[in-house]
């Protein structure tokens, strides 16, 4: 079940995590406790909040460049987060079931908001920001 959610999380975050590094996967492969898994889900929710806020903050060229910078910073931590989410898929199904509403809530809420703001940014040609255009191009390529 969580493999599907992890895949959905990857799609929701788009370009942020094109591939995992072996070290990230190995680091996250240890067994997680329920508390650790809950912390990972909370980290994912915070990640989605930051992604959404970065995109929604764009109103002109300067803020578009700033958003692109924020997205590039998020990109640095995404591989490790994705590896942790993948590890949750190996946990007891009862634990996964407890965490599912939190993950789905974040994916649904932020996925819809991100889709809408991306459409608006594309319609505005990213306010002329080449950096943001590149971020969105990577997102579309996923």
Among candidate residues 100, 96, 88, 77, the one with its CA nearest the CA of residue 20: 77
For the chain, what are the domain ranges?
Answer: 2-141
Structure tokens at 16: 């942020």
Residues 29-74: tens digit of each pLDDT:
457 899 999 999 999 999 999 999 999 999 999 999 999 999 999 9
Among candidate residues 80, 79, 84, 76, the one with its CA nearest the CA of residue 29: 84
Note the Cα 141 to chain centre separation in Å: 15
Q: Return the ∠ at Cα 16 (arms to 94 and 89), rounded to 5°.
A: 15
Residues 63-100: tens digit of each pLDDT:
999 999 999 999 888 888 999 999 998 899 999 999 99
Structure tokens at 2: 């969580």
């Amino acid at each position: 079940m969580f493999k599907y959610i992890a895949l959905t999380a990857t799609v929701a975050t788009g370009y942020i995590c094109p591939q995992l590094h072996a070290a990230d996967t190995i680091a996250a492969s240890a067994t997680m406790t329920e508390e650790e898994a809950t912390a990972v889900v909370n980290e994912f929710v915070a990640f989605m909040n930051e992604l959404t806020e970065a995109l929604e903050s764009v109103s002109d060229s300067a803020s578009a460049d700033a958003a692109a910078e924020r997205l590039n910073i998020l990109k640095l931590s995404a591989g490790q987060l994705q590896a942790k989410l993948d590890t949750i898929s190996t946990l007891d199904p009862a634990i996964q079931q407890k965490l599912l509403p939190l993950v789905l809530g974040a994916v649904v809420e932020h996925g819809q908001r991100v889709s809408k703001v991306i459409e608006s940014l594309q319609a505005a040609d990213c306010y002329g920001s080449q950096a943001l255009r590149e971020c969105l191009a990577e997102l579309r390529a996923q």
